[in-house]
Structure 1
Amino acid sequence: MARAQRLASRFETLSVSAAKLRQNLTLAFYRSPFGRGLWRGANEPTLFDYPNALRPGHGLRGESWLAGDYSLPGGVMRAPGQSPFEIIPPTTQWRNSLHSFDWLPDLLAVANGGGHQAVRAAILHWALAAYVHQRATMRPALVGRRLMRWAQALSEVRSGFDGQALAAIHTSFSTQTRWLEKLATQCDDGIDRLHAALGLTLAACALPQQGQMLRYGMDLLSR
């Protein structure tokens, strides 16, 4: 009996290790030159829309952010005059909070005080930088949260971009969405997979002629 229990325990450990290995190999494959060809492609104009009722934000926090208080879960950071993306992240949690763009609603709440301008600058900076090639900023759950916030923000601030900037944002949004479509199921069960599924579903709503992707996102949500 004891031997059977030990064997069962070892089998369970091996199963978990194999699942983690498969997850890491899948992530590595889609980040490789060959794998990237499966989620890169032509980029269509993106229809950014988001329900008004789902746009909560805190104006005072937004004003603090504009003043250089970049405190987020994982760290208290103050750097007036600097972009938050120029700061060395104090913790992994702070870095994830920054690149998830969870703080965008607070800036949107400061519409007449430079908030919208700061939102446009942050999104454009991310779209033009090489973050899509960095493993830390392209975790599926993190991508899902970022796409949700971008869709929310761009429905309000899109008109402030010129054509070249908007094209770069469309490209980044489409690229991230295709990446998420490939990797959403690689998230662990729980809140991370929920964020990935939500992000994919909302992104598919923003992109034209993506009914199949939308159905896939909704299927992930229903599991």
Structure 2
Amino acid sequence: MPIRILVLFSAFLTTASFATDLTIPHEFVSGESALASEVNENFSATASAVSDNDARLDSLEAAVTALTTRVDNIGPSVVGYSKHFATDLIFLRDDGVFVIPYTGEPGQQSVPTPGDAVVQDVNYEFAAIPGLDTVSFEVSNDNSLIIFQANGRAYNSQFSARTSVEVALYINGLKPETGASQRLSIIGDDTLSGDGHDWNIFYTTELDAGTHNFSVMVKAFNQNEADVGIDGRSTEGFEGRVKVDIIELKLPD
């Protein structure tokens, strides 16, 4: 970017050029008579140089204005930003079951009673992280560049156990072919039963103006030796670590 700006500026300077030197054709000595024609020639040379330099300054000012406009249009501008958080602690059990437990902690879980706990056999297929399931967001301009950044942490629940989990970003109900998923392999040793790995998915795409949606999906694998836990709980005044940032960039015309 700096090189491009320098090239543009150099081009403008070449066009505008530099100030004209003032050359006085006649030099007068004290005590000698000055011819009116020579005085007029001196005045004429001065006026010509001033006019020429004034024109060059106008040209340079126009060039700087044009350069400023072009610099403003070189890169995209941020026109939208939103942040979204998960809401619950979940477990992907080693038998292929997806669990949202009752924790008994007020305000810490969207499951209000033990009877509302979720135990669903997903058979090692994708399930949505609560709070990040089909989240709607608005795009203000056609052909906007949308940047998704999904972050979180998964851990296993046992000593000396191996687990794997895949995290994927779905956009408008579809999983992009590349770049929108990440597989984590987690190994707990004899002293760290809750060893974990972070995921950081950075994905860009172009979307038209309107309402769109995304989901963050997770799945375990049938070779897991322990449950996989993801703590996505967020409460008032506390933003959890499982989240998605969305940035909308307006591309230059």
**1 or 2 for the larger relative contact order (CA 8 Å, sep ≥6)?**
2
Instruction: Give the shorter-chain TM-score range.
Output: under 0.3
Indicate the structure (1 or 2) with the bigger Cα radius of gyration: 2
What is the TM-score of this pair, normalised by structure 1? 0.22
What is the TM-score of this pair, normalised by structure 2? 0.20
